[in-house]
Amino acid sequence: MTITLDSKVPAGDIAEKWDNHRFSIRLVNPANKRKYKVIVVGTGLAGASAAATLAELGYEVEAFTFHDTARRAHSIAAQGGINAAKNYPNDGDSIHRLFYDTVKGGDYRSREANVYRLAQVSNEIIDQATAQGVPFARDYGGLLDNRSFGGAQVSRTFYARGQTGQQLLLGAYQALARQVGLGTVKLHTRSEMLEVVMKDGRAAGIVTRDLTTGEVASHSAHAVVLATGGYSNVYYLSTNAMTCNVTAAWRAHRKGALFANPCYTQIHPTCIPASDEFQSKLTLMSESLRNDGRIWVSKTADDTRPATQIPEDERDYYLERIYPSFGNLAPRDVSSRAAMRMIEQEKGVGPLKNGVYLDFADSISRLGKDTIQERYGNLFEMYQRITDENPYQVPMRIYPAPHYTMGGLWVDYNLMTNIPGLYSIGEANFSDHGANRLGASALMQGLADGYFVLPYTIGDYLADFLNTTPVPTTDPVFVEAEQAVSDHTRKLLDTKGSRSVEWFHRELGKIMLEHCGMARSRPGLEKALSEIPALREEYDKDVRVLGEADDLNQALENAGRVSDFFELAELMCQDALDREESAGGHFRVEYQTEEGEAKRDDVNFSHVSAWEYQRGGPATKHAEPLEFEYVKLAQRSYK
C-alpha cells in the first residue's frame, strides 16, 4: 500500500479554518442520511456521543461495546473535570489561551489546527452537557463553578464533584439510549470487535465475537468509527479499567492503519502507590486534589518518622520550590518526573518507600474540613477504603502511574485514518494532545470528536457513496476475516501451555514500566526490544487458556488482548528508540536540560511518527511534519 500522509488541514487563518472547512466539505442532505450505515465501535464518551449524534442526524448506526451496557466504558472513571474556554470566572481565558496552553502542555508535538478546533468547540460541549442534565458544580447563585487544573493559570475546569467522567458519560449514554429506544441505533453489547474488514482499499465493516455465545459475526457499513480508548494497560498496572485494551486499534493497524506516536504515554502523578505484588490495578486520585493539597517529602533521605512528626522546616515542598509559578499545579509529566527523582533520592514515603505526600492539612486549617469534604469527599473516602488511612488526619501517599496514552491511530483533520472510511476518535486516535495531555482535556477531546467534529466531517466521505449498498457480509473479505478470528481463538485455546495469561501480562508490564515508562534510554529500550519478542514467543508456546470458544470465556478474551499488547509494546519501544529527544511524557535520559527537564530537538523531531505495520518485520516510519505558525516553539517553563 502506498501511503500518503495528508493531514488535510484547511487553509486560512487558524481561527477560521474550522469554519471554512465546514463550509467547503460536502454535506449529505437530511433525506439521504438514512441511506448510509455507520458502525461505531466503543461506547465511551467519544463513541456514545458520536453514535447518538449521527443517529440524531439521521444516519443508520450500529454501535458495539464489549461491556454489558454502554454505561461502563472507562470514561466513567475520569474524576476531575472538563476544560472549556468559557471564561465565566473572568480571569482572562479565551479560545486562544486554551489552544496555547494545550499546545504548550503537549510540548509542541501536536497539530495546531486540531488543537485550535478543540478549543473552539469546548464551549459547546459544556452547553450540550448542561442541557442533558449533567449536574456540574454550581455556586450559590446557581451558576456554573470552575476550578483550576495542572498546566493552566486560569480556572477553566468544569466539574461534577470528583465524578465528572461518570456524569458526562451518563449524559452521552442517555443520549445514546434515547436513540436506541427510538430504533435509530442498533446497539450490540458484550460484543468485541476483532477485525476491521477492507474491500478495495476502503473500510467495509468489522468482525465481532459475541462474548456470551462465542458467535463470530460480520457487520458491514459505509464507514467504520473506532472509539476504543487507549492502551495504558500494556503496562499491566495502570489506572485503566481491567478490560481496557488496544485490540480494535491494533487490528486496524495490522490492516494498514498507521499508528502514531505510540511512545507518547502519560504517567499520572497522583495515584495510590502499589501495596503488593498481586495488585491488579492502580487507583487514580484526581489531579484536582493538587488545587488544595501540597506535595512534599522529607528533606532527609530515608526519614522513617511519620509525616505528622516531620517539622515544617524539614519538609521539601519540591514542586513549589522548583516551579514557583505553577507550584503544585505543574503539568503531569513534569510532576511525575519530579516525584520519580525524589524517590530515586531515597526520599520516598510509606511502607514500600514508593510514594510522596499530598497533604491537605494547610487547606483544612484555612478552609475548614467541610469545604474540603465538599470538594473531594468521595475521593477521600475512596482513598481510605483502599489504604485504611484517613486523609483528613494524615497526608495521602501518591505516586505516578500509567494513565493515558496520547499516541494512537493516525488521523487527518477529518479524524479519518489513512484507510478511507475508517475513522478514529477519542483516546484511540493520536490527535490533540501532542506528547503530554493536560488534565481535564481528555473528556473535552472525546466529546469534541464525538459530538461536534466527526458528525460533520464524516459526511464529506459518505457523499461519494449515495445509493450504494455496503459490501455484503457474504463477500469473501468477510468470510476470510471471520475465519482469521476463529483460527486465532482456536490457536489460543489449543496452546494448552503452563502459564496463565495474567502471568505473561504482568511480565510484559514489568519490562515496559522499567524500560519504556517514565524514563527511557537507548540501552534500556534495546534490552526491552530483545526481551519482548522472547517473552512473546514463550507466550505463543506456553500460554494456558482453559474453557471453550462458544461460551463466556474471560481468560480467552484477555488472551487475545494480551497478544496485541505484545506487538504494541515492541512498536512503543521502537518509536521511543527512534525519537532521540525528550518531549512531554516521552523522556529519554540522554536528552535533558541541566535541571533534568525534557529537552526537545525541534530540528529533527518536530514531526508525528506514524508507523506502518509490516508483517514479520519492524514497522516502517512515515513522518508528518508539524508546523507552528501561531504558537512560538519554546522550552517549556513552568517556573
Partner 1 sequence: MDLKLRVWRQGGAAGPGGFKEYDAKGISEEASFLEMLDIVNEELTMAGEEPIAFDHDCREGICGTCGLMINGQPHGPQQGTATCQLHMRKFNNGDTIVIEPWRALAFPVIKDLVVDRSAFDRIVEAGGYISVDTGSAPDANLTPVPKEAVDAAFDAAACIGCGACVAACPNSAAQLFTAAKIGHLNLLPQGQPERLTRTAAMVDTMEEYFGSCTNHGECESACPQGISLDYIAQMNRDYLKAQLADLRRSGQK
Q: Which residues between 452 and 481 bind partner 1 (CB under 8 A)?
A: 452, 455
Q: Would you count residue 142 as binding partner 1 (CB under 8 A)?
A: yes
Q: Would you count residue 72 as binding partner 1 (CB under 8 A)?
A: yes
Judged by beta carbon, residue 161 or residue 251, the one nearer partner 1 is 161
Task: For residue 151, give the DSSP letter.
Answer: T
Return the residue of 502, 507, 540, 624 that touches partner 1, per CB under 8 A.
502
Q: Would you count residue 544 as binding partner 1 (CB under 8 A)?
A: yes
Judged by beta carbon, residue 233 or residue 473, the one nearer partner 1 is 233
CA–centroid distance for 455 within its chain:
21
Cβ-based burial of 355 (10 A; exposed 0-12, middle 13-18, buried ≥19): buried
Q: Would you count residue 315 as binding partner 1 (CB under 8 A)?
A: no
Return the residue of 9, 25, 241, 463 that touches partner 1, per CB under 8 A.
241
Q: Would you count residue 278 as binding partner 1 (CB under 8 A)?
A: yes
Judged by beta carbon, residue 139 or residue 346, the one nearer partner 1 is 139
Hey, which residues does 220 pair with through a beta bridge? 205
Q: CB 254 → partner 1: shortest distance, Å?
A: 26
Residue 433 near residue 449 (C-beta atoms within 8 A): no
Binding mask 520-539 for partner 1 (x = CB under 8 A): --------------------
Other C-beta atoms lying within 10 Å of the C-beta of residue 24: 10
Q: CB 189 → partner 1: shortest distance, Å?
A: 7
Distance between CA 510 and CA 524 in Å, rounded? 12
Q: CB 216 → partner 1: shortest distance, Å?
A: 18
Stretch near partner 1 under the rule CB under 8 A, chosen from 28-36, 50-58, 566-574, 611-619: 50-58
Return the residue of 237, 289, 338, 382 that touches partner 1, per CB under 8 A.
382
- Counting residues that bind partner 1 (by CB under 8 A) gives 80
Q: Would you count residue 546 as binding partner 1 (CB under 8 A)?
A: yes
Q: In this structure, what C-alpha cell is assigned to residue 392?
A: 483528613
Cβ within 8 Å of residue 601, ≥6 positions away:
580, 581, 591
Judged by beta carbon, residue 2 or residue 280, the one nearer partner 1 is 280
Return the residue of 30, 92, 141, 616 that touches partner 1, per CB under 8 A.
141
The length of the chain, given as a count of residues? 639
Judged by beta carbon, residue 69 or residue 469, the one nearer partner 1 is 69
φ, ψ dihedrals at 225, nearest 5° = -115, 125
Q: CB 126 → partner 1: shortest distance, Å?
A: 5
Judged by beta carbon, residue 163 or residue 261, the one nearer partner 1 is 163
Judged by beta carbon, residue 34 or residue 639, the one nearer partner 1 is 34
Q: Would you count residue 88 as binding partner 1 (CB under 8 A)?
A: yes
Residue 192 near residue 208 (C-beta atoms within 8 A): yes
Judged by beta carbon, residue 242 or residue 623, the one nearer partner 1 is 242
Return the residue of 32, 94, 130, 521 that touches partner 1, per CB under 8 A.
130
Q: CB 586 → partner 1: shortest distance, Å?
A: 27
Q: Would you count residue 74 as binding partner 1 (CB under 8 A)?
A: yes
Cβ within 8 Å of residue 73, ≥6 positions away:
42, 43, 44, 45, 47, 48, 65, 67, 169, 229
Stretch near partner 1 under the rule CB under 8 A, chosen from 26-34, 97-105, 362-370, 382-390: 382-390
CA angle, 568 as apex, 585 and 475 as ends, to 5°?
Answer: 135
Other C-beta atoms lying within 10 Å of the C-beta of residue 589: 13
Write the CA distances from 571 to 332, 512, 581, 605, integer angstroms: 24, 11, 17, 18
Cβ-based burial of 502 (10 A; exposed 0-12, middle 13-18, buried ≥19): middle
Closest of 541, 547, 567, 551 to residue 493, by C-alpha: 547
Return the residue of 302, 487, 551, 580 that touches partner 1, per CB under 8 A.
551
Helices within 397-475 (DSSP H only):
442-447, 454-462
Pairing mode, strands 408-409 and 202-210: unpaired
Q: Which residues between 554 and 573 bind partner 1 (CB under 8 A)?
A: 554-555
Q: Would you count residue 284 as binding partner 1 (CB under 8 A)?
A: yes
Return the residue of 94, 500, 521, 592 that touches partner 1, per CB under 8 A.
500
Q: Would you count residue 540 as binding partner 1 (CB under 8 A)?
A: no
Q: Would you count residue 94 as binding partner 1 (CB under 8 A)?
A: no
CA angle, 428 as apex, 622 and 235 as ends, to 5°?
Answer: 90
Q: Would you count residue 144 as binding partner 1 (CB under 8 A)?
A: yes
Q: CB 499 → partner 1: shortest distance, Å?
A: 8
CA angle, 338 as apex, 118 and 331 as ends, to 5°?
Answer: 15
Judged by beta carbon, residue 137 or residue 394, the one nearer partner 1 is 137
What 139-145 contacts at long range (C-beta under 8 Å, 24+ apart), as own/partner pairs, is 143/88, 144/86, 144/88
Stretch near partner 1 under the rule CB under 8 A, chosen from 106-114, 261-269, 272-280, 568-576: 272-280
Distance between CA 296 and CA 307 in Å, rounded? 10
Q: Would you count residue 138 as binding partner 1 (CB under 8 A)?
A: yes
Return the residue of 33, 117, 161, 536 that touches partner 1, per CB under 8 A.
161
Q: Would you count residue 53 as binding partner 1 (CB under 8 A)?
A: yes
Q: In this structure, what C-alpha cell is assigned to residue 6?
A: 495528508
DSSP 47-68: HHHHHHHHHHHT-EEEEE-SSS
Question: Which residues are known to be catalytic?
Answer: 332
| CA neighbours closer than 13 Å in the CB half-sphere of residue 536 | 17
Pairing mode, strands 60-64 and 185-188: parallel
DSSP 532-555: HHHHHHHHHHHB---S-SSS--HH
Return the residue of 82, 160, 458, 568 that touches partner 1, per CB under 8 A.
160
Return the residue of 67, 109, 433, 622 that touches partner 1, per CB under 8 A.
67
Q: Would you give the end-to-end CA distance of the chain in angstroms?
A: 47
CA angle, 452 as apex, 449 and 457 as ends, to 5°?
Answer: 80
Return the residue of 381, 507, 538, 540 that touches partner 1, per CB under 8 A.
381
Other C-beta atoms lying within 10 Å of the C-beta of residue 305: 11
Q: CB 279 → partner 1: shortest distance, Å?
A: 7
Q: Would you count residue 137 as binding partner 1 (CB under 8 A)?
A: yes
Stretch near partner 1 under the rule CB under 8 A, chosen from 27-35, 45-53, 92-100, 586-594: 45-53
Q: CB 123 → partner 1: shortest distance, Å?
A: 8
Other C-beta atoms lying within 10 Å of the C-beta of residue 213: 13
Judged by beta carbon, residue 139 or residue 627, the one nearer partner 1 is 139
Q: Which residues between 163 and 202 bind partner 1 (CB under 8 A)?
A: 163, 165-167, 170, 173-175, 177-178, 180-181, 189
